[in-house]
Amino acid sequence: MTAFDVAEADRLLSTTRAVRRRIDTDRPVADDVLFDCIDVAEQAPSGGNVASRRWLVIRDPATKRRLAELYAESGEFMTKIADRLEGTGHAQEKVFASSAHLVEHFDAAPALVIAGIWGRHDDSGRPGLFDSVLQSAWSFNLALRARGLGTAWTTMLNAREAELTEILGIPPGVTTVVTFPVGYTIGTDFKAVARRPAEEITYFERWGFTRRRPSADGTPRVAAGPGVTVEVDIAARPAVVWPLISDPTVPSRFETELDAAEWLTEAPHGVGSRFAGTNRLGDRTWEIENHVLEYEEGRSFAWGTVDPQDPGAVWRFEIEEVGPRSRLRFSVVIGERNNLTAVNALADPDQEGRVLAGRRKMMRTAMTHTIEGIRALAERTD
Ligand SMILES: Cc1cc2nc3c(=O)[nH]c(=O)nc-3n(C[C@H](O)[C@H](O)[C@H](O)COP(=O)(O)O)c2cc1C
């Protein structure tokens, strides 16, 4: 038997959302519920086990108003972005609409709760007092949610330290980390949202070494879909990066394993299009036919080698919009058949991990060259 009802614990952990529009502004939040939540939050770990966190609750309307004015000054950009995104169906439209709502109603929540700590960022790289707030502040969110309350994690007031100090009497030496507008939520039916799955962002043994599926014995296995992911942040918009990743001839310009590529099908290219690639490893070269499996303009371009039904490898470029920049991910998942790495790895089960590690190191080097080359091209043309 497990110690907890795991499904219920996971439901709490995965449905604690940023609540901005569904805060009940008319229902007061009593001290006892805040004390309870803070007591729970204080169970979180802290560097050196020193109890240095401090919590500040603000209910006075005039004080809340002054903080709301500061928040609105810092958050003006959110309103502008929300206006720009309205009606576009953009992935971030809802978040910005919600954030803009908070900018206009920051003082409407019955209580503002600031989590701070005795300590300053000293850039020493040592785990300091400062690092001890976040885990506790998130526990506070969870404790609120468990009791029918909600909040949103806000940080914009941190940039207004001088004013906060003056208004709230915060002493020098204390760092404020997060301000929570707290209230009971209108309804409690919050949902988990889509996030990138663990398999895509979890690496095993070496940075970038992925597993498509769990390995039964925890060791690298061909059957687990071993892969590599590399990423780079590019100072250019996705529209600038897209033509570079959806043209397979581009990687061949860099020092990668791909010497040349050539479309075998007519433009416009999309899912089902094919291209030939000439690969080179040391003094060995070979030709592979590639099949486009995914073609989502501005977002993703993926292809499978050899056989589209059972690819030797699936390669994927993905662009994530990060403000005015792009994060480019380049990944590969090695298939169980139709590639030499799998053949070599499976030839001797004792050597499976070693063969996969060696090949993946080479891939990671070539893939890093590729994304760095794309970054250089994109930043030049932006
Ligand atoms: C470090 C950090 C800073 C944040 N700052 C703000 C903020 O200043 N204002 C705000 O409205 N939301 C802020 N958020 C909340 C995020 O915007 C929120 O997590 C996002 O909208 C996704 O919503 P979800 O948490 O419900 O998935 C912050 C979150 C984090 C982790």
pLDDT digits (tens, 9 = 90+) for 267-315: 999 999 999 999 888 888 889 999 999 999 999 999 999 999 999 999 9
For residue 66, name the pLDDT band (cuts at 50, 70, 90): very high
Measured in Å, residue 155 CA sits from the centre of ligand 1 at: 8
Identical fold, 6-184 and 198-381: no
For residues 136 and 243, what is the distance between their CA atoms, to the nearest angstrom? Answer: 44
CA-CA-CA-CA torsion for 30, 33, 37, 38, nearest 10 degrees?
50
DSSP calls for 348-378:
-GGGHHHHHHHHHHHHHHHHHHHHHHHHHHH
Average pLDDT over residues 129-149: 93
Q: How many CA atoms lie within 13 A of 138 on its CB side?
A: 12
* Domain boundaries, given as residue ranges, for the chain: 6-184, 198-381
Phi, psi of 175 (to 5 degrees): -110, 130
> In CATH, what number does 198-381 get?
3.30.530.20
- Supply the residue whose CA is at minimum distance from atom 1 of ligand 1: 155
Of all residues in the chain, the percent with pLDDT exceeding 70 is 97
Task: Give the range among 45-54, 176-185, 286-295, 311-320 with minimum mean pLDDT.
Answer: 45-54
Task: Give the range among 5-9, 52-56, 59-63, 119-123 with minimum mean pLDDT.
Answer: 119-123
In tens, the pLDDT along 344-373 reads 999 999 999 999 999 999 999 999 999 999
For residues 285 and 167, what is the distance between their CA atoms, to the nearest angstrom? Answer: 70
Predicted TM-score of the model (pTM)? 0.90
Fold topology of 6-184: NADH Oxidase (3.40.109)
- Determine the pLDDT at residue 254: 82
Residue 306, sorted as left (phi over 0), alpha (psi -120 to 50) or beta, turns out to be left
CB 362 within 8 A of CB 208: no
**Substitution candidate for ligand 1 out of 19, 78, 153, 195 with most atoms within 8 A of CB:** 153
- Supply the residue whose CA is at minimum distance from atom 23 of ligand 1: 18
Would you say residue 382 has pLDDT above 50?
Answer: no
Measured in Å, residue 72 CA sits from the centre of ligand 1 at: 15
Measured in Å, residue 126 CA sits from the centre of ligand 1 at: 26
Measured in Å, residue 208 CA sits from the centre of ligand 1 at: 27
* Lining residues, ligand 1, CB within 6 Å: 17-18, 95, 99, 102, 152-156, 193
- Determine the pLDDT at residue 126: 59
CB count within 10 Å of CB 38 equals 18
